[in-house]
Structures are given as C-alpha cells and as structure tokens.
Amino acid sequence: MADDELKLLQKIFDMMDYAYPALAQYPKSEKFALVTDIKRTMDKLLELCIEAQKRYYKKTTLQDMDIAQLKLRAYIRLSHQLGFLPTKKYEIWSEKIVEIGKMIGGWIKAIKKPT
C-alpha cells in the first residue's frame, strides 16, 4: 500500500501545481475569500495525506481526507458557476480531484478489509 500512498501524494502535488496558476487568475475581490478557502482546503488535503501515511490507525484521518476532497470539489464547482474558472480548466481540475477521490476511496476500502 505504501506505493499507492506515494502515488496519492504525487497526485495531490500535481493537482496543486495545476491549481495555483488557475487561482492566480481569479478576480482580486476573491483573492482573500474563495481563493483562500480553496488553498486552505488543498493544504489540508496534503497534510491529511501525509498524516495518514504515518498513522497506525488511519480510518479517521482518511475520512477527514475524503471530506476535504469533497469540499474542494464543491469550491471548484462554485468557482466555475460564478464564472471565475473557465470550463476547460474546471474540467481538468475536476478530473484531478475525482481521481484523488477514487484513490482515497480505494485506500479506505483497503483498510476496512479484515486481514
């Protein structure tokens, strides 16, 4: 599972690498509102991924990670609906977030399996 955990961490880095230039294009009025919320949520997702790798009991951390991923998805959708995020960037960013969500879901299923 350690290899999958590193892949998830890399996916989060890739998503953040894509997101920061996109966030720079948001209007000034949103720099300290929606942009800050999105950045904070991405940071939280990254922190939780690192924590989950190091914890012995991972269930709660993974659930928190799943919640952070859903929040991020909601923020991105809102950004698109408000017209701050062009459709193409929204689609690419959403794909990255969905892929991260699938990996988190797989990790949750893996720890729930009795060994």
pLDDT tens-digit readout, 61-82: 999 999 999 999 999 999 999 9
Give mean pLDDT, residues 106-114: 87
Task: Give the long-range contacts of residues 36-44, CB within 8 A, separation 24 or more.
Answer: 37/75, 38/72, 38/75, 38/76, 38/79, 41/68, 41/71, 41/72, 41/75, 42/12, 42/15, 42/16, 42/72, 44/68
What confidence score (pLDDT) does residue 4 get? 72
The CATH code of the domain at 2-112 is 1.20.1440.60
pTM strictly above 0.85: yes
Domain extent listing, the chain: 2-112
